[in-house]
Structure formats: structure tokens, C-alpha cells
A and B are shown apart, each in its own frame.
Chain A
Amino acid sequence: MAQNEMLAMILAGGRGSRLKDLTTKVAKPAVFYGGKYRIIDFPLSNCANSGIDVVGVLTQYESVLLNSYVAQDGRWGLDSKDSGVYVLTPREKADQGLDVFRGTADAISQNIDFIDTYDPEYLLILSGDHIYKMNYSKMLDYHKQMHADATIAVRGVPMREASRFGIMNTDGKGKIIEFEEKPAKPKSNLASMGIYIFSWKLLRKMLIEDMKNPDSDHDFGKDIIPRMLNEKRGLFAYEFKGYWKDVGTIDSLWEANMDLLDPKNPLNLNDSSWLIYTEDVSTLPQYIGKDAKIKKAYITQGVRVEGSVTNSVLFTGAVIGKGAKVVDSVIMPGVVIEEGATVTRALVAEGVRIGKRARIGSKNSENIELVAKNVKGGTK
């Protein structure tokens, strides 16, 4: 790809409050996933693998950890001379006071000066909290081929669920003629993935106008896209067919982890042509002890298993003690499950210690139990 033909901006300010205690101290994009990753590793690795050199990450909510995490651009191979990952937080400017990002579009508007230094032809807008593998350069090819002003990635959802999404109605040739947010009677099942490519010159002009509009929510979905449609601009839908998850709740985060246990899972993190990069840790490989029992598990380096693990995902440095039983669970980094404890249908947050013989969760629970605090040992 030519130098900075396309710049990527990742919206990573979301709190993800339905993830409860997992996001009290970190933003949703920094939540752990899949044994060794954080969610934001996915859009960042996709950028690196798609040949995008410069990525801005827009953070706001509880951003200390996220900011320092994404600033280490070497992790995703975005550290060569003309590339980098840049953390962009709300800042005070000479002509106006410190202001939070008022909406997704405003987050971009407030960083027009940053984007201008690279003078890109196209701007790619991504969400920092989705799990998927996607080649954005193919989407750009489509954008150029259609001579589009904006291209929106969409995916087919089951028709009966379509009323939960932002739905794009097209003319059958990919051109978007209507956008409906959570329609009661959906006319199509193509849901927006919150991934946009804009021709920068036009978007820049529209953002400047939008900033001054007192009636605007400064949001791409609510303001920019509808306005573009009103102005009869060329908006095109780019259909994505791979695995894609927006993990909004504890149950869906658990489920997305469980998906990895399926040998035919379409996300396939083992594909060496499209690796997902993350923080590198110095640990032993995983150690499976003398009396351990492992059956259907996804386990990463630094884990030590002395007990039994069935149908579960174990993250970096987790320890499963002798006689402990872990079933249908997601065990995040540094968790210690002491001897004889039982953990069933649970998601145990980073660093939690579960005492000897404690019992967590149950086989028939409706929801996944989130364990975010240490649990004292059981009596029996």
C-alpha cells in the first residue's frame, strides 16, 4: 500500500458497562480474550496485516492501562520508521476548553489536525472492541472500485434478530439507499459492523460542519451517515462473511471464548498467514502436572495445571491446583484455583484467588457466574 494512503482510527473510548466488574478499572477494548489476547489486539493486528502503517487509538474511559498498552506499537509490528500507534485522548486546545469526545464523529473531528499531518486519501474507522479477522485492504479495493464516498462493512444476521441492529438497505448492487437503526420491521438483514472507509476530503468537510451543528449528536450512525444519504452521496455496503463478535455481556464474552474450543471454529487463531499479535510475556511453557486431566481445553503459556480441566479456556499464568476441577469456564490471567476447588460455568477475572475446596457456579445456571473478587476456601 502506498505511504499513508489510508489511515486507521480506532474508537476505543467505550466503557462496556454490561461487562460489570471486568470494566470498572479498564476500558472494554483492554478486556482479555482467548487465553493470551486483549480485544484491541484484533483491530490492531488486522491493521498491521492489512498493510496500514499509522493507527490512531481514541481513548477516553479508564484509559491509563489501555493507553500504555497500545503505545507499545512494536507488539503489532507497527514500529517501523513511517508507522506507529498513536494514543489520542481528549485535550485542551488554544481556542476552546478541554472537552470530552461528544460522540464517535466528534472523536475524529477533535483530531483532524492529527490526521492532516499524514494527509491520507482515505480514512478507516474501526471499533476497538470487536473480535474478528478482516483484511481492510480488500475493503479499500472495493471502496475504490465503487468510486464510493463511504463504504460500510456489513454482515448478514438472522432476519428475526435484525431489529436489534443498525440495518443497511441496498439497491441490490451494494449501493446503500436507506439506513434504519433497530427497525421494527427490517427490510434487510445486513447489519452495520461499525467499520467505515471514508474518502477523507469529503468527511473532513462534513465533520467541520457537524462540529458546529448544535442539533447533532456528533455520531457516525446517527448523524454523519444519514446526512450523507440525504445528500445522495455514494454509500456502499461491503459484506463480510467471517467470524465477528461484539462481546457486550459476560455471557457473550464467555461464549466467544468457548467458540475457540470448537476444532472447526471459523476464527482460527492458528492461521500463520494472519496472526493476531499481542503483548509478549517471559514465562515457562504451559505445564500439565502428573495427575492432571485435560479434556477439551484452550491453554496458553505460563499456565500450570495439576487438577482437572474440561471444556475451558485458561489464560497466561493461571494455576489450577491438585484435585481442583474447572468445567465450562474462562479463567483469566494469573488466577489461582487452589486444591480441591470446583469452578463450573464461570468467568474468573484476572488475578482472583479461589480458596481450597470452594465451590463456584453450577452446571445448570442460566447465566455465567462472574467471579471478580477472591473467594475464601470451603469447609468440606
Chain B
Amino acid sequence: MAVKAFGIVSSADNSIHVEGLHDYRPIGAFSFLGRFRVIDFPISNMSNSDINRIQVYVRSRPRSIAEHVGSGRHYNINSKRGKIQLLFSENSSTRSIYNNDISAYMDNIDIIQRMHQEYVIIAPSYMVYKQDYRQLLETHVASGADVTLLYHKVDNAREYFKNCHTVSVNKQKGVQSIDKNLGTANSKNIFMDTYCMHRDVFVELVKAASWMSSMYTLADIVNLKCKDMDVRAFQHRGYFATLTSLEDYFNASMELLNYDIASDLLRSEWPIYTRTTDACPTQYFESAKVNNSFVSNGCLIEGSIENSIIGRSVTIKKGAVIKNSIIMAYSTIEEGVHIENAIVDKWAHIIHAKNIRGEADAPQYIKRQDTL
């Protein structure tokens, strides 16, 4: 049964830049936990919540997202009643101050206005969490609020969740303001950049923002309207990760090496869909030694792996040691190479550099397709 909301998967704000990885693709296309891409999470949440019409906004370098999302068949979107649209902002220069979410919505405002669904759920393509949007929608409709925001209570906001917004909430779950997380306190309500509102309210807010300032974002205008509008907050529970810096990406991945946390994020009743590559199972050889790691299919493993996440079709040769690292798809780590606290991007070939080490709080990034 389709719900009366359509979905928008939003793109990261131009103030967000993730070292290295981001040079090649938008955050939504980042590999996550070996076999997924980040955007699989918001789209699967929507699909599992019976949202059949989904708009994915892509700010720049659309190839990887377009290829991965495709027709959306693998996300279990109804092939006749449903649709995934990839929408692009006309203003596509990545770093431009004019290239924000509001300008992308303005460029596509006629498409938004034509949607048959009354409500909209907006979720970011750069955060990972699990949420039944039907609950959010029901709460929103029952409360009579104008806008409902999703937030997550954290106790480490000084160190992490930089680049994120926080919400100040009163006892009645009314939102007082949306602010930048300045790292002033550990205990904060992190805004999950997820909104639920009526389509007409959304269109109104987008137009108001664009009229007031070319630099305004949706968060800016909602913050400004908090005083006159009924903006409420809805608390999310469970695993929540923001992938807005290389450290955050690394930590979010490492946290999932705790199998209980990972299996709670991927329960069979709430599947996270992804595009299959039809890789065969992974082959472990006589000399392989693997502990506390997630390994994707299609790998050939002769070396040692500890506390790491291995992408699809990776080759780890004899005597190679991978520790506390993320090795992305199609990379080859040759004999005797030692890698620790590193993120190795796709198609990399590590052969001559025998020792690659980063720090636990500052992982070393190895470029896509690089030979070291």
C-alpha cells in the first residue's frame, strides 16, 4: 500500500566536503559496509515505508549515482505505480554558494508541484540510519504541525557531528531553533536533515527562501520560520551515522564491526537493498587469517585481515596485513604490504609502498585507481 507522501533524497550542502572520497562522487555514492552505497539507506527506508515515488537530487558528478540507482527496480519500487527520478540542479558548479538545496528545488518546482501525494518526506543522502517514515508521517499528521523534523540525541557532539545542525526542543517537542553544531557541548540533539511536511508547505518554504536570499537553505528557512510556524521534533532511536567528514565516515564504519550493531541495522524485516554485481562468493586460501571483519563477495584472500571492511572483488595477497582499515572494491594489495588505519579507494593497487599507516582518529586516504 502506497502512503500519501512522496520522498526526496537530498544532496549534501556545499559546506560539506569529505577529504579524498568526495573528489570522485557525491556522498550518496560512497561505498558503505563493503557491499552498500550510502544512498541505499534512505532509498530503502522509503521503499520499506511504502513510499513509491522518490526524487533523488544530485548536485555534481552524477555518473556513479545514476548508474547505481538506475531504474530503481532493485529497491523494490513498484514498476508501474512507482518511480525514482534523478533530478539535477541547473546550477551545478559544486562549490558555488548559489548551488544549495533550495536552488535545486526551485529548478524542479513544477515537478514537485505536480506530485499527486499530499506530503513529502525529505531525507539526506549522506547519513545512515533506519527509520519507518510511516511513523513519522502519522505523528506529523496527528499533531497538526506544519513541519516535523527527525533528530537523534547524542553525547559526543564535541568531537563528532561537525558540519551538522542541532535542534533545540522544548518539553512539548516544539522546535525553538536549528543551529550549527559548534562542538560546545557533548549532549546535543543532532538534526538528521530529515523533514516531513505537507507538499504545499514545502513549496511555500522553498519559494520564501529563494525570495529572501539566494544563499538560504531549507534548514535556514525552517529555522527562521520556527517562531511563526508549528515546527515539531521526532526522536530517532538506533544506529545513526553522519558521513560528513573522513573521520566520521571511518568511525561510522568501524562502529559496525560490532556484529550486534550491524545486524540490528540490517534486519530481514527491514531490508537494505543495493545493486548486485553478481560477484561470486569469496575465496579464502590456505594462508588466510581473518578476524572481526566484514568481507564482500568476489574477493581472493591469502593474507591477514583484522578489524576491517573489505569491498567487492578485492585481492589480498600472501603476507599482506590489513588492520583497522577500509579497502574498497576492486583494489589489490600485493604481497608483504602492511596497511593500518587507512581508507583505500576503489581500483587502487598497493605494491611498492610496503607500509601505509594512518591514525585511528585520522585515517590515511589512498586515492581511487592509484598505484602505490
Contacts and interface: CB of A to CB of B under 8 A. Distances in A.
Contacts of A297: 283-284, 288
B281 interface: yes
Contact of B274 (A74, A277, A282, A296): A282
A300 interface: yes
A286 B286 CA distance: 18
B52 interface: no
Interface in B237-290: 259, 262-263, 266, 268, 271-274, 276, 278-286, 288-290
A291 B282 contact: no
B33 A285 contact: yes
A34 interface: yes
Interface string B118-156: 000000000000000000000000000000000000000
A277 B297 CA distance: 13
B288 A294 contact: yes
Given A301-B35, A304-B259, A275 B291 contact: no
Contact of B281 (A34, A74, A291, A296): A34
Nearest to A263: B285
A316 B4 CA distance: 36
B278 A35 contact: no
A30 interface: no
Contact of B294 (A280, A285, A300): A285
Contact of A299 (B263, B268, B281): B281
B262 A288 contact: no
Nearest to B74: A280
Nearest to A262: B283
Nearest to A269: B280
Nearest to A305: B290
Interface of B is mostly: loop
A364 interface: no
B10 interface: no
Interface of B: 33-35, 73-74, 259, 262-263, 266, 268, 271-274, 276, 278-286, 288-298, 300, 305, 309-310, 313
Interface of A: 34-36, 74, 260-261, 263, 269-270, 275-278, 280, 282-301, 304, 313
Given A260-B281, A297-B288, 20 more contacts: A34-B280, A34-B281, A36-B280, A270-B280, A277-B278, A284-B262, A285-B297, A286-B282, A286-B294, A287-B294, A288-B293, A288-B295, A289-B292, A290-B291, A291-B291, A294-B288, A294-B289, A299-B284, A304-B259, A313-B281
18 contacts: A36-B280, A36-B281, A261-B283, A263-B283, A270-B313, A278-B278, A282-B268, A283-B266, A284-B262, A285-B297, A286-B282, A286-B294, A287-B259, A295-B288, A297-B284, A297-B288, A298-B282, A300-B281
